[in-house]
Structure 1
Amino acid sequence: MKELIFKLFKSKLFYFVIIILLGITGYYGYYKIFKNQSTKYILAKATEGDLEIKVSGSGEIIPIEEINIKSKVSGEVVSLNVKEGDLVYKGQLLAKIDSKNLEKAISDQEILIKNLELAIESAKLSLEKLNFQYQNTLRGDDYKKALNQGILVLNELYNFYPNFIEDLNKIYFNKDLDNRDNNLKYYESYSIIFAGKSYKLEKNYSNIKNYYLQLSENFKILQNTDEYKEKIIKDSYNLVLATYELVNEGKEMIRYLKEDLVLKNAAHEKQDIIEDHYQKLTNYLNILGQYKQNLLDIVSKINSYHDIIDNYEFDKRSLELSIKQKETDLEQAKKKLNDLKEDLNDYYILAPFSGILSTLNIKKGDLISSSQIIGTIVTNQKIAKISLNEIDAVQVKVGQPAILTFDALPGLKIKGKVIEISAVSKQEQGVVSYDIKISLEEENKEIKLGMSVEAEIIVDKKENVLIVPNSAIKRDKDGRYVEIVKNYDINEKLLNKPVKIPQNLIEKRYIKTGLSNDEYTEILEGIQEGEIIIVKTLEPQSRQTIQNRQTNPLMPIPFGPRRQ
C-alpha cells in the first residue's frame, strides 16, 4: 500500500490532476466572489449646440506684393465704383454684379418662411383645441346631455307611434276605393311605374311594425346605463328613417294619381277619401321628419363623442408629426435663406487688401464669368500659405473663415479668410496636396515672415442643432442607434461619471444623423433634446479578467482583483 502511494506521488499524472483541480477551483471561486459586480455606464444628455466642421493644415507666413481680384459669380456688372490707379482700402466695394434673380429667390424664401411659421402656429392651435376638446369630451357632460335629450324624444316618439301605425294600416290596407283591392293596390294600378310597389310597402310595413313593437318593449324596461340608452336611441333613429321612407313612398303614389286627375281635368268619385289619405300622410311625414332631425342631431353628438375619444391619439399624433415636419421644413428654409444671403455677398466684389488698383479689366455692362480676373491690387501685406490634402482641399471655398495659431506665439489667435485656392496640385511621396492662401483680418507686428502657422478652416457650420457625442452612436445591421435611459432622473453632477442603470430602463433607439465632426454628431430624427443617452459602457473588472483567463483555465487565479 505504501509503495502504491509512493509511486502515485512520484507520478507526473498526479501533479497534472492536482493542477487542473486547483485551476478549476480557483476559477469558480473567483467568479463566485465577483459575479455580482454590475456594469456601469457613462451618461450624457442630448443637447442643442453649434456644430462646426473644420479642416486644418500647416504652413508659413509669406509676403504678398500683388493679388488678382476674381469674381465668384457670373453675371452683368451693374456698378463700378473704382478706376484703374485708384488707392483702395480693405473691404471697399469695387464692383457689383446683377443679383436680381437671387434677390427674388431671397424674397420668395422669406415668404415661404413666414407661411411656414403661420402654418406651425395654426397647427399648434389645432393641437391645443384638440386637447381641450378631448378633456371636455372625456368628462362626458355633452354625451350624457345628448343621451337624456334622446330619451325625452323617445318618450314622445313612442307615445305617437301606436295611433300612427294603426292609422297607416287603415290608409294602406283598407278597401276604401275598391271592394276588390286594398288602397295601396288601387293606387298602384294607376301607373306601371308603381308595379310591385304595394307588395314591397306591405312587407316593409310588417317589418317596421314588428321592429317598433320590439323597441317599444325595450324602451319600457329602459336600463339606466349609457350603453343601453345609446343603443335604443340609435335603433329608434333607424326605425324613424325606415318609417319615413314607408310613408313617403305611399304619398308619392297618391300624388301621382292627384296630378293625373288634374292633367285630365277630371274628378274622382271618391276624391274626398283620396285627399284625406294624402293630407294624413303629409302630416305624418312632417312629424316623422321632425323626429328624424331631432334624433339625427342627438346621434351626431353621440358619434362625435366616440370619434373624439377613439381618434384622439391618432389625431394628436398626426398633428404632432405635422408640426414636427413643418418645423423641420422651417429650419431647412431658414438655412437655405442664410445660404442665399451668403451667396448674395458674392455679387459684391470687395478689395481683399489695401493697396493700388494697378489694373482694371472690366467696365459697367460687361458680362463676366465666375473666377474671371477683374483686376490686380499691388500691396505689401502678409498672408498665411498652408497645404491641405486633396480630400480636405475640395471642401474649402474662397471666403470661408479660418483661425490661425503660431508655434512661436503661444496664445495668439488671428482670424483670417480664404482668399485663394491653388488650381494646381503638388505631389510629395504619393500625397496630393493644394496650397491655400489665407488673409489676416488684423495686423500684428509680432507676426514675422517665415513663421510657421497652423490654420483651422471652418468649411461647414450648423447652429442650434441637436447633438450627441460620437461615442454614444453605435451601428448594427439595421442602422445607427443610441441607447436611451428611459424615465431616469439623474443629477447633473453625475453626468459623465460611472453609474449603475437597471437594464429594463435602457432602450435601443434608431436615429437619423446629419453633420458630424471629431467630437459630436447632429441628430435629425430619433431622440429629443434632454433625453439621457449612454456614452460609454464599463464592464466590471472581474468579468474582463475571467473572459481573458477563459483561454487558459490552468493559469493560477488569485482570490482578489489584481492591481493595475
Structure 2
Amino acid sequence: MKSLLVWLVVLGTLGGGGYYAYQKWPDKVAFWKTAEKADAAKKSGRPTTAVVTPRNISFAISAAGEITPAEQVSVRPEVSGRIARLPVDLGDKVKKGDILFTLDDSDLQIERSQRQTEIEATKLQIEGARLSLEKLQLDYDRTKQIFEKKLPLDRSQRQTEIEAAKLQIEGARLALEKLQLNFDRSKQLFEDKLLAKEVFENAKTELDQARNNHALARNNYDKLLASEVLENAKIEVDLARNNHALARNSYERSLKALQLVEDRISKTKITAPFNCTILTRPVSVGQAVSGSGGVNSGTEVLTIADLSELIINAHINQADVTRMTVNQKVQIEVEAVAGLKLFGRVDRIAPQATIKNGIKGFSTRIIVRNDEKSGVRPGMTANLTIPLQAADNVLAVPLAAVFSDQGDRFVYVKQDDKFARAPILIGVTDYDYAEVTKGLQGGETVSLVTPADEVGKVQQAFGAAAKGGKSGKGGEGKGGSKGGNGASSGKGGEGGSKGGSGGSRTSGSGGGERRGPPGQ
C-alpha cells in the first residue's frame, strides 16, 4: 500500500511538471505538434524543401496620403473697396503678372486730383515766401548800410512807409480773421469726422501763415516808429524765413499724402504672383470687400495654386522611418486615375513623432512634378511605395527555411538522406525571401520544416527528463516524495530548453522564430 502511494505521488509529480512545462514553453515541449505540422504539410502537397538559388530581393513600405498643392495662396486685397473686374473663374489657368481682379478706384482718383491741386498751391506759397524773403533781405541790407554809414532817412519817405505799413496791418488783420473763421469751421468738421485730416491741417497752416503776415505787418509798422530800425528789419527777415519753411513743410506733407493715395490706387489691381490655377472664387463682381488689415484679415476673393508641383503628406510608421532618407525616390499611384504612375521624392521628414489613427509615426512630405494632362487634382488620395532595401542576383532562401536559436540563424541543409544544421548570415529580406550573405554556396536543398530527426532529438530529451524524474524518488516517506518532485521539475525544464534548441520555428525563447523584414 505504501509503495502504491509512492508511485501515485511520482506520477502526479511528473504530470504536474509536464503540464507546467507545457504551459510555459508550449512550442518546445509539445514536440508532437511540430511533427504533426510536417505530416500535414506533406499530406496537403505543400513543398517542404527549397533550393538555394540567386534572385532579386527588394523591400518597400506602403503608405497613403492626400495630394495638396505645393504653393497655395488665399488672395485678399490690401485695401477695402468694391469689385470692379473679376475676369477669372474656377479652373482657369493664369500666368504670372496677369490680372486676377480689380477694385473700383474712382474715389481714390478724386482724392489724388485734390492732392495734386494742393501740391501746386504749396508750390506757389513757396515761391511767394521766397520772393518776400529776398525783398526783406534786401531791405535789411539797405537799412544796415544806412546805419553803418549813419546816413539820415528822408522824412517824407518815412511817412509814406508808415502809411503803407498801416494798410498792411489792416489787410493782414482782415485776412487773419477770415482764416480764423475758416479754421474754426474746419476744426468742428474734423472733430465730427466730416473732414479729412489733410484738409484740416492745410487750414491750420494757412492760419499760421496769416498770423505771421499780421505779425510781420505789425513789426514793419513798429519798426518805422521805433528807434531800433535795424533790429526790426532783422526780425522781418526771420519771419520771412519761417514763412518760407512753413510753405516747404506744407509742400512735403502734401507730396507724402499724394504718394499714399497713389500707393492705395496701385493696390486696387491684383495680379497673379506665379503661374497658377483658380481653385475657388467665393465673390462676384460688385461685391464690397475689406482689406487685409481689416476684420478677419480681409475678404478672400480667390484661392490660387501652382499645380505643376504637388506635395503628399504621409504618416510613416516609426519602425520604417529610420531607413528612409531625404531625396529618396517614391512611386505614386492615384486611386482616382487608374493606371497612372508618378515618381516623386522625399522632401521632409518630421523630427518628432505623432500618433495618427492609434499608430505612432512621423509626418513625411513627398514632392512630385505633375503633368497638367495627368488628371491629378488636389484632394485626391495617393498610394505610396517607398523602396527601402534591394539586392539583385543574390543567393536567397525562403523565410520559412530560416530558423533561429538564441539569436543565431541557421538552415537545415540536405546531406544524403538527412538534414544538418548550417549557420548562416542574412542580408536584405522581403516578406517571402531572405538574402544569404554567408554560409551557403548555392544549389543546396534546405528544409522548410523541422526535420524528423530533429523532432526525435526533442522526444529523446523529453524522455530523459521523465526518467530523471523517476530516479529522483529516493528517500523514505514524505521526504522521498518531495525529493522526487523537485528532480522531476528540474529535469523537465531542462528538457524543454533542449527541445527549443532543436529549431522550432514558432515564437518562443528557444524556438525558431520567423524573421520578417521589420525584425532585421
TM-score w.r.t. the length of structure 1 is 0.29
Select the structure with the greater relative contact order (CA < 8 A; seq sep ≥ 6).
Answer: 1
Higher Cα Rg, which structure = 2
TM-score w.r.t. the length of structure 2 is 0.31
